[in-house]
Amino acid sequence: MRLIFLGPPGVGKGTQAARFSERHDIVHIATGDLLRTAISEKTEVGLKAKDFIEAGHLVPDEVIIQLMKDRLQASDVQSGYVLDGFPRTLAQGKALSDLLKQNGSSIDRVICFYLDEAILLERIVGRRTCPSCHSVYHLRYRKPETDGFCRCGTALIKRTDDTAETVTERVAVYNNETATLIAYYKGQGLLTEVNADRALDAVSEAVEQVFQESSI
Ligand code: ADP
Ligand code: AMP
């Protein structure tokens, strides 16, 4: 099973991908998490990505494509995965298709979440994340059991790119860059849109329904 969760920043795709991954015992790959880990470990990829992320811009395609080529070769993902935050441009989507073709496989379904920009902003500004296990919380909608701490015991942080100014830039980048990618998957009959303006469980149910109806 190879799935892509697409959508603007803050729509809830990471939260849904984590839930789906747990429910179906399938690997969740989030490029944002891979990049943030690379930054904290000061790897070559991390050094290349840092300034782009902080400005709310996309990291260049060649850096991301190489990162994902390496990740998708690992033994833990050979039976499938849910991709969250990748691909984000048409070039990335085509590179992924080529890579899969070489292995005789393909993407099974693309779920594209949508939500009004004002709600995206509210979700992002209230987001708190765990730098250790990458769990995601919200000050209002998904509070941690202990204020300020993840269930794994690590202190939660606010991402440096989760500010109102950066969000506006990131949403604009999404609208510009991802439109052609959405058209690409629509053209292949792979895309299903899901309204993310609902409580967490209701969105999860909608995702589950798409999955069941896709008979993957
Ligand atoms: P993305 O991965 O698309 O950037 P996240 O999954 O990190 O988005 O979610 C963004 C923020 O919104 C997080 O703080 C998360 O807890 C919260 N969130 C996610 N889904 C919902 C929802 N359905 N209702 C309310 N808040 C949500
Ligand atoms: P995310 O955690 O998905 O919100 O991603 C955080 C930031 O990482 C984005 O704003 C981009 O700067 C960068 N990033 C993550 N995934 C990609 C990607 N597929 N292509 C380019 N940049 C990415």
Distance CA(106)–CA(188), nearest Å, equals: 11
Pocket-testing residue among 29, 50, 58, ligand 2, by greatest number of atoms within 8 A of Cβ:
58
Residue type present at position 100: L
Identify the three-state secondary structure at position 90. helix
- The model's pLDDT over 149-169, given as tens digits with 9 standing for 90+, comes to 999 999 999 999 999 889 999
Report the interhelical angle of 31-40 vs 44-55 (nearest 10°): 120
Phi, psi angles (nearest 5°) of residue 133: -100, 0
For residue 199 and ligand 1, the question of a CB distance below 6 A is answered with: yes
Listing from the earlier edge strand, what are the strands of the sheet with 2-6? 27-30, 81-84, 2-6, 109-114, 191-195
By annotation, the residues acting in catalysis are 13, 88, 127, 159, 170
Mutation pick for ligand 1 pocket among 4, 5, 6, 15 (CB with most ligand atoms within 8 Å): 15
Report the nearest-CA residue for atom 23 of ligand 1. 200
Residue-wise pLDDT tens digits, 23-36: 999 999 999 999 99
Q: What is the structure's pLDDT at 116?
A: 96
pTM, two decimal places: 0.96
d(CA 199, CA 67): 33
